[in-house]
Chain A
């Protein structure tokens, strides 16, 4: 039998009358007629602030669109935004959204260091949480295989696996590789996954250098000198923020990519800063789950890109799509759970409806796997200057599904890769 807090308080001598007098004992149906409060956690400071901003912009665009169309089950959407920062403070903000602001769902979460802490809190508080880009993986292994309330992003290393598959396709003659990745779990995991894929796909490559600069470093002069000295056939990096742009600039200054191939698994996150003047053609560049210039892109994507450019004078990165998908799938699940009525469903019903649901997102069809992990496409391609922008785009564009590049539920990453039929 569970002991509730009130029972505990009674045991400690408070009495039922005092317990009943709690100020927060508001009626549960109070919100049913008002706006749907949706909590949003977004990084707003530091190196990942542009990622958080992109997610927030995607969510705000979705909310405007939904409200113009009459809301969810007739209720307008109201966003309650809080900051994602370190795990301790973000857990507090998460609890505030649910306990104080009484939101119906929380969207957001980017850093896996933070979302590892959020996962158990979401399960405790019994409100759906749809993570944009954070997982509950420890390294490359799942820590919450059967969550009830937590919905997680795609596995962190998917972009590196997709890049490995495409490396084998485009850069066949490569014999030696070097890696420069950030010194934290994401950087290490991407490098290990990438090498495992190359090996499995029969590329007889030898890693000659692995560098792990601290996240946030802005001078790669010594790293580039080390890379030049190692003379690899190919350089791989999972840099995803401004450091990708800086590395590209500093590499261009010494003509690094004139002598080796380049693989930037995640630099599409800062794609419009990769100017043609310092970003060569012929690199493999990953955009994660959304490519703004997808020639086969939907009308929805084209409208979003157009309006994003008009409003912010920037072309949107993939985080907008993660965020849009989370919000849109919540809406679809609420409507599905309502079963055609206007009755607002219980949170548990929405969660049930979310499992396996597929919706139209900015990048195309996306879904939630039964174990609450995002399923989507990853977009990567070879950089080109043949476009109307002042930055590189990719052609040809390759689309790799998470069905191909993400380990299935319940499997171990390296066992799964080693089990591929090459």
Chain B
């Protein structure tokens, strides 16, 4: 009950924020919502299936570059087309990548995903005519639900219509993932995570189910990647770089991978903490490294784990 109340209050705060919060903090909500979509997907693989991907920035890159490519080469301007195209492109790339990766687990799975991520990074860096190389591609302001909104100043566009658009995408993604993890399919994934041998004896196709989880996860990451494009207005190869994948894992650990909303909370805290620490000290990466070490050693359940420890009666239900 308390968890539900917190969720409602959080949602209410996000909805009313454009009326009360400073513009800059609203702008930071945009990458938060995009990363939240990515991490909901990543955690299906990480928290629910037990596979840690160090290459999911690949799919963020796929999503972002799909939108930018459609805009640059085919003059498409519809955000809905970008999102659908990103999801399809993400699925198309993920299908063979997942088929190869899910045959392995633990460090081998992680290294394979890292390798595929770096292959894509190299691709966007090298194929200059297609991807713009190191300079990337512009991601022009997309029309939302058919409304071009070109006359609006970009900042107003971002913290007005685009803000609510991103929130709607996040809400749909959250509801969709909630259904997935609460379904018999989600239960199968948890069984695979906890005991793959037992899952196999129960008749669950472990490799097949892992492939499904990877596919869903990749589609979520691609959609999140497409959402990241308009606020920056440019996509570049660093979106697909391995350190970006590392950030995704960091956010998931920070919030807590054993909780449904843990990664979402992780994304929120990561973005606002980074914003603050970067302005205070030039060596902010050292501080983030120390935070990661503290989480892994003292709070492996992340922030949600700490809350759950404070409320033993309502443990994270996963």
Contacts and interface: CB of A to CB of B under 8 A. Distances in A.
Given A5-B159, A116-B136, A138-B132, A95 B278 contact: no
Contacts of A87: 136, 232, 234, 236, 238
Contact of A19 (B19, B151, B152, B282): B19
Interface in A1-38: 1-5, 8-9, 12, 14, 18-19, 21-24
B17 to A, nearest CB: 11
B22 A184 contact: no
Interface stretch (B23-31, B76-84, B289-297, B301-309): B23-31
B286 to A, nearest CB: 10
B151 A1 contact: yes
A8 B152 contact: yes
B153 A124 contact: yes
A62 to B, nearest CB: 20
Interface in B230-262: 231-234, 236, 238-239
A386 interface: no
B315 interface: no
Nearest to A8: B160
Interface residues of A, number: 43
A133 B157 CA distance: 30
A149 B230 CA distance: 20
Contacts of A185: 128, 133-135
Nearest to A182: B134
B155 interface: yes
Contacts of A2: 151-153
A401 to B, nearest CB: 27
B151 A100 contact: no
Given A44-B282, A92-B275, A117 B19 contact: no
A96 B24 contact: yes
Contacts, number: 122
Contact of B160 (A5, A24, A112, A116): A5
A83 B283 CA distance: 10
A9 B18 contact: yes
B194 interface: no
Contacts of B151: 1-3
Nearest to A123: B154
B105 to A, nearest CB: 31
Interface string A153-173: 000000000000000000000
B187 interface: no
A254 interface: no
Contacts of A407: none
Contacts of B282: 44, 83
Contacts of B23: 24, 99
Given A5-B159, A44-B282, A18 B19 contact: yes
Contacts of A117: 136, 232-234, 236
B205 interface: no
Nearest to B161: A8
A138 B19 CA distance: 38
A116 B154 contact: no
B228 interface: yes
B145 to A, nearest CB: 13
Contact of B20 (A4, A21, A82, A139): A21
Interface string A113-126: 10011001100110
A45 B228 CA distance: 24
B238 A86 contact: yes
Contact of B19 (A21, A92, A125): A21
B285 interface: yes
Interface string A177-190: 00000011100100
B19 A5 contact: no
B156 interface: yes
A121 B212 CA distance: 40
A91 interface: yes
Contacts of B134: 113, 184-185
Contacts of A23: 20-22
Interface residues of B, number: 46
B156 A8 contact: yes
Interface in B1-56: 18-25, 27-28, 31
A402 B26 CA distance: 42
A124 B24 contact: no
B287 interface: no
Interface string A73-110: 00000000011001110011101100110000000000
Given A23-B21, A100-B22, A121-B233, A92 B155 contact: no
A219 B28 CA distance: 40
Nearest to A3: B152
Contacts of A92: 27-28, 31, 275
Interface in A242-275: none
A4 to B, nearest CB: 6
A21 B138 CA distance: 35
B155 A125 contact: yes
B227 to A, nearest CB: 12
Interface in B128-177: 128, 132-136, 138, 149, 151-157, 159-161, 164
B75 interface: no
Contact of B22 (A24, A91, A188): A24
B201 interface: no
Interface in B188-226: none
Contacts of B24: 95-96, 99-100
Given A4-B152, A45-B285, A92-B31, A22 B136 contact: no
Nearest to A138: B135
Contacts of B20: 18, 21-23
Contacts of A18: 19-20
A193 to B, nearest CB: 16
Nearest to A4: B156
A4 B18 CA distance: 13
Contacts of A8: 152, 156, 160-161
B169 to A, nearest CB: 17
15 contacts: A3-B156, A8-B160, A19-B19, A22-B20, A24-B22, A24-B23, A82-B278, A88-B232, A96-B275, A99-B155, A112-B135, A116-B138, A117-B234, A125-B155, A185-B135
Interface of B: 18-25, 27-28, 31, 125-126, 128, 132-136, 138, 149, 151-157, 159-161, 164, 228, 231-234, 236, 238-239, 275, 278-279, 282, 284-285
Given A86-B239, A116-B135, A120-B138, 15 more contacts: A4-B152, A5-B159, A21-B19, A87-B236, A87-B238, A88-B31, A88-B232, A88-B236, A88-B239, A92-B28, A113-B135, A113-B236, A139-B135, A185-B135, A188-B128
